[in-house]
Amino acid sequence: MSEKIKAGVIGATGYAGLELCRLLLMHPQAELVAISSKSFEGMELSEVYPALYRETEERLCDSDEVIAKSEVVFGSVPHGLSEEYARKCVDKGAVFIDMGADFRLSDPADYKEWYGGEYKDAELHSRSTYALPEFFKENYKACDVFGNPGCYPTSVALGIGPALEAGLVEKKLVIDSKSGATGAGRGLSQNTHFAELNEGFAPYKVAAHRHTPEIEETLTRLAGERVSVTFVPHLLPINRGIVSTIYADLADGVTEAQVRAAYEARYEKARFVRLLPEGKIANLKYVKHSNYCDVSLHFDRRCGKLIVVSAIDNMVKGAAGQAIQNMNLKFGLAEDAGLALIPPAF
Amino acid sequence: MSEKIKAGVIGATGYAGLELCRLLLMHPQAELVAISSKSFEGMELSEVYPALYRETEERLCDSDEVIAKSEVVFGSVPHGLSEEYARKCVDKGAVFIDMGADFRLSDPADYKEWYGGEYKDAELHSRSTYALPEFFKENYKACDVFGNPGCYPTSVALGIGPALEAGLVEKKLVIDSKSGATGAGRGLSQNTHFAELNEGFAPYKVAAHRHTPEIEETLTRLAGERVSVTFVPHLLPINRGIVSTIYADLADGVTEAQVRAAYEARYEKARFVRLLPEGKIANLKYVKHSNYCDVSLHFDRRCGKLIVVSAIDNMVKGAAGQAIQNMNLKFGLAEDAGLALIPPAF
Amino acid sequence: MSEKIKAGVIGATGYAGLELCRLLLMHPQAELVAISSKSFEGMELSEVYPALYRETEERLCDSDEVIAKSEVVFGSVPHGLSEEYARKCVDKGAVFIDMGADFRLSDPADYKEWYGGEYKDAELHSRSTYALPEFFKENYKACDVFGNPGCYPTSVALGIGPALEAGLVEKKLVIDSKSGATGAGRGLSQNTHFAELNEGFAPYKVAAHRHTPEIEETLTRLAGERVSVTFVPHLLPINRGIVSTIYADLADGVTEAQVRAAYEARYEKARFVRLLPEGKIANLKYVKHSNYCDVSLHFDRRCGKLIVVSAIDNMVKGAAGQAIQNMNLKFGLAEDAGLALIPPAF
Amino acid sequence: MSEKIKAGVIGATGYAGLELCRLLLMHPQAELVAISSKSFEGMELSEVYPALYRETEERLCDSDEVIAKSEVVFGSVPHGLSEEYARKCVDKGAVFIDMGADFRLSDPADYKEWYGGEYKDAELHSRSTYALPEFFKENYKACDVFGNPGCYPTSVALGIGPALEAGLVEKKLVIDSKSGATGAGRGLSQNTHFAELNEGFAPYKVAAHRHTPEIEETLTRLAGERVSVTFVPHLLPINRGIVSTIYADLADGVTEAQVRAAYEARYEKARFVRLLPEGKIANLKYVKHSNYCDVSLHFDRRCGKLIVVSAIDNMVKGAAGQAIQNMNLKFGLAEDAGLALIPPAF
């Protein structure tokens, strides 16, 4: 048997970082060799998350130690910090998979507009790829910096991508997304204080969420022409999962059968996309704790619309699971190594 | 002091019926004189709902007794049954307020298409009104049969009505609504079994919900021309409340200020609609257990869209509260008699 | 009609303070004349809690202004601060109702041991009363400082008090209580971060909660001899409500009928305690948003135990509602003025 | 590599049955060869539970087919049905693991009193064992019928067992348990209707739950003398997990150090029991979706009590996981084969 891949996580105590650790600890062909955290340096991970008690004795160290020990480094840190880590990784020959936004947008102007920062290391960006494996894995071999997609963009691209690729819908979309509270992260806020979120529901950052340019860039790339989206995210009083309800005008003369055929062709070999049979509706419940994206297709004949519902677990396919899927593909493992997780039904 | 209005409820043990009873029991100018239930006839209401223990000693009787004792009868029964009750009421000079769908659609063809039944008593319909008081109360004096609006149509009409009335938006809308579980009623189903709905989220009846024709008829009436909607409801794992996120294309040249001004004018005197200040977002949490509809306005400048978020408590403004508001108006009471309920913040 | 009582709230933006404001705003014989908050001074209450939008235009001022304007002042502040406010109130002839712990314990040594502070103003304590109205209202006329009971002690004393008063049970109790998250207050913490509390459940401060001495003092007073309790609170992933499950050994020869008779006699005239019929079980659901305490009696014949289940809304009967009940009694209003709230069933 | 164990599930569409299927499908050394269901015979499992879409193509067949194909059969059916299935299994040389109550009680009189039935096949019971592996696995080799423990008894025995075995506590216990809604099963009821359970909390079957005799028998066996318990279960508005809070009087002269030492010794080699360090409290959140039982020890010095908190996932360690643990031990696999599940922290 070949040796295990040495994997490290920078920012291991955020929610995405923790889920990465958990999945890597259960991965048969990877080994979690080092983890870091600014806030909890020196502590054991299980002191921060008692769920991991006795599962690992790794102590949280600093990022340099993570980079020194790892062949692949996952960076789960706020935007603006990843170029430095990525540079150190590629200089020592390691792969860097960024969970944040620093390698997702190809246009520095978009990054500046939505995130307020600059790309400083252009060479790094030239060797990076937007790592949505169902659509863009042809670049994986050549690249060693991976921009792991955002949770909303993943749900949207997997939902409407095939229709855009095949030219079956118009290029102005309405996207109404709903996310569980882990998407808001571990940081405390009044909005995510239990008594205030529980039994509440509302949109936030209406038509102003930072994932908007990432969604538009990805969909434009898939469509081969400019796609614009009205994107409204909502916060669900549950822990995990995203449902995106995507509204598109069918192009002239397009039939329902054509749409379904395009999706079937596109996802025939996709290990982690489940195109649901006619009559079924995607539900985040049925993908939770798995790396699946469920997609269901619906038609409003009265209005000539295609309505796509996509559901993912924001922490898995929307973050840690997809990052490991990317690692698997980059390192030549089975795409689902460590990810053959059957979602619980309740 | 004048005597209290004698009110009765047919179908008192469904969720809307129960909420009616509760609000009527606390109403200073109405008296709950009789209640009926097919399923629980002969029992006390508090045997079905222990929350009402010692609040009332009314026993559930049959519908004829309710009609005999009441000046106003609320019918909270499945569609298809209300014409009979309404006829008995008007024949004895009582007012009938229908919580179901039997007096909401003006076109019998729509009723037949979406509900599968026939209007049998045309005279009744000629003396009935669609009872959304913020827009249509001019007919209340003449009519004695009231079609209390559906929960989704209430949230939608209050949300987008002013923009349509003022001709500020195009006539094709996308409406993405999310409702708490009480909307699905008291009847048991796998979908609303706790372990299956909890921590789950999905749309249902995608572009096929029976409230669609009611929404379109109401919006068309407000716009003065044909409005068509793509309407997708979702089921939230919470008890109460509806958020509707409504997407409309701004008509050519319309400014944000014009839109806001139209809403301000329209709702200046509306006791139960709160137009939120700029920068605030409607949240169902903040209207729960009250008769309010909160409305917030948002603009996607990049795409030329108006996005309206409206939030109601589906059991109050979406059902029992609005019915009592209608009773108050019909009987000349203060519009908010028994409805001056301040929503709890948690 | 007589004039309304002028009421003020110090600490109006905490959860108990806010619930006080809400209930006072709906109270027919009281007027909320001033509110204060250290953290939000100068803002309108509805800026902190959008649920109150348009309900009041009161701005948050400082505590002196509250005291100056009010006949009754509710102090909803951390322990250690209330003596000062109480002194100012009584000096100007106003009543002070303390929502915190500063006037609950009669023995300064208990206060020092569990809260770490000193009683500085002995005269104040001599004119104060522990304000559990179902048991101790005989002192209300003479006193002008009221120590509003804690939420857990309220649920426990109303649950087991009659059995202790009548000498029907032994004096060593096990009390297993479960509280909703509003009991932990508005302050942010990892424990009450949505994603961490939701779908979680555990005890906290096992046998070490500060309400323990208050429970023991109250029960001892009712029993007429020393009562000791093992008290374990748990945090429920819901917003409101406390259920206390209380285990007591029946005294020798005591029958179930004797126990039930004692409770019936004790609560015959209690407006806000509902002794449930045999076979029913108290559920916090059925008292939420009301001032009720539901009590159910159960017997483990195999082990000779009385098991009492009591349920309250921790924000109402466990805090703001009880405080208003105390105000009503002190000012000679009907005990349920402003508190005739029927709990919603869902 | 050796061949996989052929496993079948009778009653695969109940919650415990489904969780068994899910865990077996992910088990590296077992193969799910057949599943049955009375209610859904002929359907694919994923038609009943969309979470399993594309995970298995097994159709639900009848119980005879399951028995014919399997080396080990899990029976997840209502009590009273398992003797027949067990007999068929042992006659063909297969192992039968009963998820229900038919092989848990050694005394037929207890079974009759609490379940209302008779043991008909005494020989079967003579070859059966109560299958709580942490305490009783010495019988596994000889037996081929396994009575998988109930969820509450598992949480209680693992919680207080070591103290009773070592004679450190008195023999009258108070056990206050709280369970998630999956414990109530897939069957619909008003109690588990979403809008009624959500935001509610109460005990049920107070001192009258059928798990009582199983708890007492198991604890008596561990203590070597008669143990009696007052057992009150509560229903939590969450999906999964049980917390049992167990109150015991320390025996004369017993120290905290002795208690801790006894637990440490007892669980030193227990793969699935995590004795938490001093100062930590067991929380069902931290064991969810895993086979762990977390146990924390607390002392009420004022009252001389040991308070044990134990937490399990009722569907895993309380049902399907423990059953697979039993299969692993019976078939000589690693105890944690297919069960090395790290609980998610959120």
| pLDDT, tens only, D15-63 | 999 999 999 999 999 999 999 999 999 999 999 999 999 999 889 999 9
User: Partners for B (CB, 8 Å, 3+ pairs)?
Assistant: A, C, D
Helix B321-330 with B15-25: angle, nearest 10 deg: 50
Q: Which of C49, C239, C340 is nearest residue B26 as measured by Cβ atoms?
A: C340
Question: Can you tell me the mean pLDDT for C12-30?
Answer: 98
Residue B80: closest CA among B100, B94, B64, B99? B100
- Compute the nearest-CA separation of B193 from chain D (Å): 5
Contacts of D55 in chain A (CB under 8 A): 342
Contacts of D237 in chain B (CB under 8 A): 194, 198
Cα D58 → chain centroid: 26
Active site residues of A: 151
Burial environment of residue A317 by CB neighbours within 10 A (0 to 12, 13 to 18, 19 or more): buried
Nearest residue of D to residue A53, measured between CA atoms: D274
C254 has pLDDT over 60: yes
Give the model's confidence band at D2: pLDDT under 50 very low, under 70 low, under 90 confident, else very high: low
Contacts of D201 in chain B (CB under 8 A): none
Interface test with A, best of D53, D55, D238, D281 (most A CBs within 10 A): D53
B1 has pLDDT over 60: no
Nearest residue of A to residue B286, measured between CA atoms: A200
D99 has pLDDT over 90: yes
D1 has pLDDT over 60: no
Interface test with A, best of C53, C194, C199, C313 (most A CBs within 10 A): C194
Q: Which two tokens stand for residue C70?
A: 């009010």
Interface test with C, best of A39, A52, A194, A240 (most C CBs within 10 A): A194
Average pLDDT, chain D: 97
Q: What is the pLDDT of residue A57?
A: 86
Catalytic residue among C21, C151, C293, C303: C151
- Compute the nearest-CA separation of C183 from chain A (Å): 9
Nearest residue of A to residue C49, measured between CA atoms: A196
Does the beta-carbon distance from B193 to D199 stay under 8 Å?
A: no
Give the model's confidence band at B57: pLDDT under 50 very low, under 70 low, under 90 confident, else very high: confident
Is residue C182 within 8 A of residue C319, CB to CB? The reply is no
| C293: annotated active-site residue | no
Q: CA-CA distances (angstroms) from residue D331 to A83, A297, D97, D105, D262?
A: 52, 46, 12, 24, 30
Contacts of D307 in chain C (CB under 8 A): 206-207, 230, 232
Question: Can you tell me the mean pLDDT for C105-124?
Answer: 96
Question: Can you tell me the mean pLDDT for B223-230?
Answer: 98
Residues in chain A: 346
Q: Which residues of chain A have pLDDT under 50?
A: 1
Q: What is the pLDDT of residue C95?
A: 98
- Continuous segment of H or E residues that includes residue C36: strand C30-36
- Give me the residue label for tokens 């792969």: A95
Give the model's confidence band at C2: pLDDT under 50 very low, under 70 low, under 90 confident, else very high: low
For the segment C213-234, what is each residue's pLDDT rounded down to a tens digit? 999 999 999 999 999 999 999 9
For the segment B304-336, what is each residue's pLDDT rounded down to a tens digit? 999 999 999 999 999 999 999 999 999 999 999
Residue C180: closest CA among C323, C285, C281, C75? C285
Share of chain B above pLDDT 70, in %: 99
What 3-state class would DSSP assign to C13?
A: coil
Give the model's confidence band at B270: pLDDT under 50 very low, under 70 low, under 90 confident, else very high: very high
The answer for residues whose C-beta is within 8 angstroms of residue C290's C-beta and 6 or more apart is C313, C316, C317, C321, C341, C342, C343
D299 has pLDDT over 80: yes
For the segment C42-60, what is each residue's pLDDT rounded down to a tens digit? 999 999 999 999 999 889 9
* Distance (Å, whole) CA C59 – CA C47: 10
For the segment D116-171, what is each residue's pLDDT rounded down to a tens digit? 999 999 999 999 999 999 999 999 999 999 999 999 999 999 999 999 999 999 99
Please, how many CA atoms are within 13 Å of residue A93, restricted to the half-sphere of its CB? Answer: 2
Is residue C285 within 8 A of residue D194, CB to CB? The reply is no
Share of chain D above pLDDT 70, in %: 99
Q: What is the pLDDT of residue D57?
A: 87
Q: Which of C195, C284, C305 is nearest residue D230 as measured by Cβ atoms?
A: C305
